[in-house]
Amino acid sequence: LTASDLFAAAITNGAKVVNQPADQDLVVIDYAGLTSDFLFDDLDEAEVLMTRMNAHHVTGLVVAGNWILQDGQLQTVDIAAANKELSKQAKADLPRLAAERSRTHKLSSAIHRFYNELE
C-alpha cells in the first residue's frame, strides 16, 4: 500500500466511513512551507503530505462548510473563555486531584526505583 493509495482512500472514502456528506470539509496546507527544503519539484504530493505534514503546515480548516481555522487563526473558539472554563472546572475538581496527587507521587517513585534497579 503506497502513500498515494492511502491518501486516495482517505479522500474518497473518509466521508463514507464517518457517515458524513462528502465535499464539506477542507484542509488548507502551506505546501510551500512543507516543501521548502526540496531541491526538485517532481514529487509525489500524496507521499509528501502523508510522510512530512504536521499541524504546523495547516493554515486553514473547514468542517461541514464552516471555517474553523483561517489563516492560522481559530474562528469559532474563544480561547480566553475556554481557558477560563477549564480553570473553573479544574478548581472545582481540586479535592479529587489532591487525593490523587499523593498516589501519583508514590507511583512515580516506584517507577523510578524499578528502572534504576534495571541498570
- pLDDT-derived band of residue 102, with 50, 70 and 90 as boundaries? confident
Cα separation, 107 vs 119, in Å, equals 19
Look at residue 26 and give its three-state secondary structure.
strand
Predicted TM-score (pTM) of this structure: 0.56
Per mean pLDDT, which range of 12-21, 65-74, 107-116 is the poorest? 12-21
Grid cell in block for residue 10? 482517505
Residue 54 clears pLDDT 90, i.e. is over it: yes
Residue 33 clears pLDDT 90, i.e. is over it: yes
Closest C-alpha to 15, from 6, 24, 7: 24
Give the tens place of pLDDT for each residue, 55-78: 999 999 998 888 999 999 989 888
pLDDT at 43: 87
